[in-house]
Amino acid sequence: MDATIDDNPGRPLQERPSSSRRGVAGILGRFEQLDSPWTSRRQIAGQLQVACSTLYHWIDRHRAVIRDSSWPPNVAWFFESPEGLDFLHRLLTAAHLVFVQANDCGIRNLGYFLELSGLEEFIAPSYGAQQAVAEEMESLLIRFGQEEHQRLAARMPPREITLCEDETFHPQICLVAIEPVSNFLLLEQYQPQRDAVTWDRCLDESLAGLPVTVVQVTSDQSRALIAHTEIHLGAHHSPYLFHVQQDTVRATSAALAGQTRAALREGEKFQQKTADFQADYDACREQCPQDPLVETLRQHVQQAEAEEAAAAERVTLCQARQERAKAARQGLGQDYHPVRIWRPVGR
């Protein structure tokens, strides 16, 4: 059945398009009120300003729908009444808003819902019919957002804000700017370029009429975004946490890891030196215990053990520096995050 429902059921019947479902349902409702054994259908059609043959067709169709419906007759009659059509209109609007617009479940899933619920007898579940509804709702949401933007901006007190800016590609370039405290999306536009001039123009258009001052921008470290922030907005630029951590990793990780590797190699060298002196000392003491060389070798072993211990201490210090640097990078995540990250106990 046709999914079209009159979007203004409050209009007088004579002002409604007679071909709309809501208009036809209203006329049939008036017919039920006027129908009596003392009044002919032709007279009623004249009062309703409808051709008699058209009125006959609508009556026959209405009765056939109720007769052939899988729903109980009183329920089917309700869904074909003006009040029932208003209910179906509200139900379909809510379903599109929640399932299609807010959660992106897809038009086909919405059609499947209409089929399973049995409402397909009264609302067309086809993709084409529901796509038209989705497109109309999307345009209405955009218009509502524009109207609300203007209305609320006029009442908004002046404030300083931070923006998070980035470009996405799917596949066109899309400039995105969001205010992180309120999660309000200030900018979302497809543009052929992502240079500083384009960012300046698009953000100025988005901020027009809003009593806000951008004091900080968080973004990647592209030259365009830094220039847009510091030169055009005169704001402070804060790089994303990833870029801060990446820079610290580049500056420290290779050097610290190299120091640890060198200390480990040196420790292995002294371990081998100690082992060699120990083997010579044991062999000399076993073969010639009275030889003065035994004492000399024993002193060499003690010196090698001291050097080995010092090398092991250097390895420990190098590894500790690596762990401190790692902990400092992880601490940046805690310091940078605007809220405390909740974690389950024991994890």
**What confidence score (pLDDT) does residue 53 get?**
80
291 has pLDDT over 90: no
User: Mapping DSSP to helix (H, G, I), strand (E, B) and coil, where does residue 345 land?
Assistant: coil
Mean pLDDT, the chain, rounded, equals 85
- Quick one: what percent of the chain has pLDDT higher than 90? 42
238 has pLDDT over 90: no
Which 3-state string (H, E, C) describes 111-171? HHHHHHHCHHHCCCCCHHHHHHHHHHHHHHHHHHHHHHHHHHHHHCCCEEEEEEEEEEECC
- Pairwise CA distance, residues 152 & 148, whole Å: 6
Q: Residue with structure tokens 């619920």?
A: 117
Sign of the dihedral defined by the CA atoms of residues 14, 19, 25, 31, in that order: positive
Instruction: Over range 301-307, report the average pLDDT.
Output: 89
- Pairwise CA distance, residues 55 & 346, whole Å: 73
156: tokens are: 């908004």
277 has pLDDT over 90: no
74 has pLDDT over 50: yes
Q: Residue with structure tokens 């919405």?
A: 110
176: tokens are: 């995105």
Band the pLDDT of 337: cuts 50, 70, 90: low
CA–CA distance from 312 to each of 259, 264, 298, 306 (Å)? 13, 8, 21, 10
117 has pLDDT over 50: yes
Best-predicted range by mean pLDDT among 33-37, 255-259, 291-295? 255-259
18 has pLDDT over 60: no
**What confidence score (pLDDT) does residue 334 get?**
74
Band the pLDDT of 14: cuts 50, 70, 90: very low
4: tokens are: 């079209």
**Mean pLDDT lowest among 55-69, 117-131, 293-307, 332-346:** 332-346
- Pairwise CA distance, residues 61 & 53, whole Å: 12
Band the pLDDT of 249: cuts 50, 70, 90: confident
**Residue range 156-239, CATH number:** 3.30.420.10
**What confidence score (pLDDT) does residue 3 get?**
44
CA quadruple 102, 103, 109, 113: dihedral, nearest 10 = -70
42: tokens are: 């032709």
- Quick one: what percent of the chain has pLDDT higher than 70? 91
Read off the DSSP letter of residue 340.
Answer: P
Output helix, strand, coil percentages for the chain, rounded to the nearest 5.
65, 10, 25
Band the pLDDT of 60: cuts 50, 70, 90: confident
Band the pLDDT of 241: cuts 50, 70, 90: confident
Q: Residue with structure tokens 């062999």?
A: 283
pTM value?
0.55
Instruction: Over range 131-153, report the average pLDDT.
Output: 91
**What confidence score (pLDDT) does residue 347 get?**
53
Which 3-state string (H, E, C) describes 281-312? HHHHHHHCCCCCHHHHHHHHHHHHHHHHHHHH
- Pairwise CA distance, residues 206 & 142, whole Å: 14
1 has pLDDT over 60: no
Band the pLDDT of 10: cuts 50, 70, 90: very low
Instruction: Over range 175-202, report the average pLDDT.
Output: 93
334: tokens are: 């805690």
Band the pLDDT of 281: cuts 50, 70, 90: confident
